[in-house]
Amino acid sequence: MAGPTHYQLPRPEFDEAPKLLIVVAPYYRQIADDLIAGARAEIEAAGATHDLVEVPGALEVPTAIGIAERMSNFDGYVALGCVIRGETTHYETVCNDSSRALQLLGLQGLCVGNGILTVENTAQAEARADPEGQNKGGGAAAAALHLIAIARKWGKKDKGVGFTREILLAGDPGDSGTA
């Protein structure tokens, strides 16, 4: 029995190819590889480019995205990984904290697609990661691409806060330079 079908937004189009960073926690290697394959296919179908970085676990994914935002020039981010319920409350901590951190990055203006699977067992993870199945990696990439399109529609990537370099170099326009 097939599950319900879901509406998918049309793939956004770009005048200038976006550059995305895929950040993946490959704790479950095969699941991570399927998520990556789905994300790459969606990014490439949109005419975008990407880099890939691996981190130890799902909790490190938002941190890596934060570092990349401060130190690099990506338009958006795809967060990938898998958390499978175990015997302890660590599952809730990892699921809640990684999701919350990604949401906070999004609220700060980053274009983040969350593809960190939170499942009860391996079979659920495999079904969701499969690029020919639920393709949650592709869905996360699509989410990031749609957010990039919205950000480009509404304005500049970096509006800045505080002083700009030009103001600091120009000095005070009322200052004649004499004392």
Encoded amino acid at 95, one letter: C
Average pLDDT over residues 58-84: 98
Q: Are 130 and 27 in contact (CB under 8 A)?
A: no
Segment 87-106, tens digit of pLDDT? 999 999 999 999 999 999 99
Average pLDDT over residues 26-48: 98
Active site residue 50: no
pLDDT, residue 5, reads 76
Q: What is the pTM of this model?
A: 0.85
- CATH class of the 19-170 domain in this structure: alpha beta
| Catalytically annotated residue among 6, 50, 90, 146 | 90
Encoded amino acid at 49, one letter: T
* Residue reference for tokens 């700060």: 108
pLDDT, residue 83, reads 97
Segment 160-172, tens digit of pLDDT? 555 544 544 555 5
CA-CA-CA-CA torsion sign (14, 7, 154, 68) = negative
Q: Give dist(CA 92, CA 165) in Å, integer.
A: 44
